[in-house]
Amino acid sequence: GVALIGGSANSTVAGVIHFFEDPSTRYTEVRGKVTGLTPGRHGFHIHVFGDTTNGCNSTGPHFNPHNKPHGAPFDDERHLGDLGNIVANEDGDAEVFIRDLQISLSGPHSILGRAVVVHADPDDLGRGQN
């Protein structure tokens, strides 16, 4: 699968994220690059809806079909859409490489057709209020 990242009308945020599922290892790899960010950490999540007509407001909450608490990518108990943070360098570029056992490109809880959201702020990984 592929996700195209774009910011609001006055934003320079752009990127392409690729998803590869390896049935032999059960891992889904998430790879790509996002540019135009402010330097530092940015929450990176799969949201319920692929609808971006009203920006992130129309994407709904984090994808969470099992009704789990918000957490970090390495937590067993977490939203399926909780992929942690990506880190933008001083030029605003973030390389993305994530290997995850919980997200899938097939089946009843597939992430296909959902939105990939890069947040302006860091994700607290379920340890606080953000």
Give the pLDDT confidence of 37-61 residue by residue, as tens digits. Answer: 999 999 999 999 999 988 888 999 9
Mean pLDDT of the chain: 94
Residues pairing with 118 in the sheet: 44
In this prediction, residue 8 carries a pLDDT of 76
**Residue 103 · residue 111 · CB < 8 Å:** yes
* Overall average pLDDT of the 101-115 stretch: 95
> Could you tell me if residue 123 is inside a domain?
no
Q: What is the CATH number of the domain that holds 8?
A: 2.60.40.200
The domain in which residue 24 lies consists of: 2-118
pTM of the predicted protein model: 0.92
> Which pLDDT score is estimated for 130?
56
SS3 for 49-101 is CCCCEEEECCCCCECCCCCCCCCCCCCCCCCCCEEEEEEECCCCCEEEEEEEC
Q: Which residues contact 2 (CB under 8 A, 6 or more apart)?
A: 16, 17, 18, 19
**In-domain check, residue 65:** yes
> Taking residues 66-95, what's their average pLDDT?
97
How far is residue 86's CA from residue 94's CA, in Å, rounded to a whole number? 6
User: Is 8 part of a structural domain of the chain?
Assistant: yes
Is 98 part of a structural domain of the chain?
yes
Residue 114 has pLDDT above 90, yes or no: yes
Is residue 11 in some structural domain?
yes
Residue 124 falls within a domain, yes or no? no
Count structural domains, the chain.
1
What pLDDT does 129 receive? Answer: 63
Domain presence at residue 129: no
Q: Tell me if 77 sits within 8 A of 70, measured CB to CB.
A: no
| Domain contains 128 | no
